Amino acid sequence: MKPMMTLRRFVLAFLCSAVAVAQDPAAGKGPDKEVAAQLAVLKEAHADKKFANDARGVEAIDKLLIKTKAGIDPKDQQMVVKGLESVLTTGKLRPHDATQLYVGAAHALGYMGADGAKVLKDAYAGKRYPDRPEWVPLREQFLKNLGRTKDESMVKYLVDQATRSPEPALMAAAGEALGNFEESKEALRKEVVRDLLVKYGSLSEMASNLGTNIEAQNAQERLAAIKGKWNATLGRLTKQNFDTFRDWQSWHNKNKDKPW
């Protein structure tokens, strides 16, 4: 009887182990040939100095993103991030009006957590993409996707860009990006709301000044650029819905010390 019991226990343990492996979506994953193939396509398109194959590169990025969302081996994920980083940081610079490959890479990196966040921040803060008006649309994409990574270590940086950038469109993009942290802990959300409202209030006050002084005009331009996106972000972080700074301030004064 004892040998039979031992055999039964062995079989039972084996079956339980097999079920556990089957239920683990990451179990058994290894190098994906399709990931390697699409990275090769992307590399070739990126290396084309005439930019004739950028559309193929974007298609490869889309396929890699689909693979990533479905779940791939960690080593493959690292390869994908490095491939996208190479697109943003190396090679001949595309013209400012032909940045589809860069936009595609930024979008994909937005779904790759902290690894993607680091690449996006470096691309935004680096000198490769000139700090000039014609490059603002691409830099907006870097900020928006930086928020999409939900990497909380980037919150302070996004707040800084939202409140201090000299470019209204980038202030708006950074503010919009912060809305992605709606599921973060209350303390972090309250800190973001507080900092945004300080700047929102300052701009509102300057914009309301009568006359045509340059400070009032600049504040009015900034306020017009950020208002909609900042209101949306404040709404996501607080679960409230207001359209003016005065209403936000009134609600915040009453509720800043209460649970959100």
Domain count, the chain: 2
Q: Are 191 and 163 in contact (CB under 8 A)?
A: no
pLDDT tens, position by position, 156-168:
999 999 999 999 9
Domain match, 205 and 122 both: no
pLDDT tens, position by position, 202-216:
999 999 886 668 888
Say if residue 178's pLDDT is above 90. Answer: yes
pLDDT of residue 30: 79
Domain match, 143 and 182 both: no
- Mean pLDDT computed over 24-44: 81
Q: Is residue 27 part of a domain?
A: no
Lowest pLDDT segment from 13-17, 130-134, 234-238: 13-17
Measured N-to-C along each axis, helices 74-89 and 33-47 cross at an angle, to the nearest 10 degrees, of: 10
pLDDT of residue 29: 67
Domain match, 144 and 179 both: no
Residues in the chain: 260
In whole angstroms, give the CA distance from residue 180 to residue 154. 11
Q: Is residue 10 part of a domain?
A: no
What range defines the domain where residue 224 resides?
152-260
Domain match, 200 and 184 both: yes
pLDDT tens, position by position, 219-232:
999 999 999 999 99
pLDDT of residue 224: 96
Domain match, 107 and 195 both: no
Say if residue 19's pLDDT is above 90. Answer: no
Nearest to 149 by CA among 190, 178, 127, 187: 178
pLDDT of residue 212: 65
Domain match, 221 and 128 both: no
Q: Are 237 and 189 in contact (CB under 8 A)?
A: yes
Q: Is residue 142 part of a domain?
A: yes
Domain match, 159 and 260 both: yes
- Mean pLDDT computed over 94-103: 98
Q: What are the tokens at 94? A: 């595309």
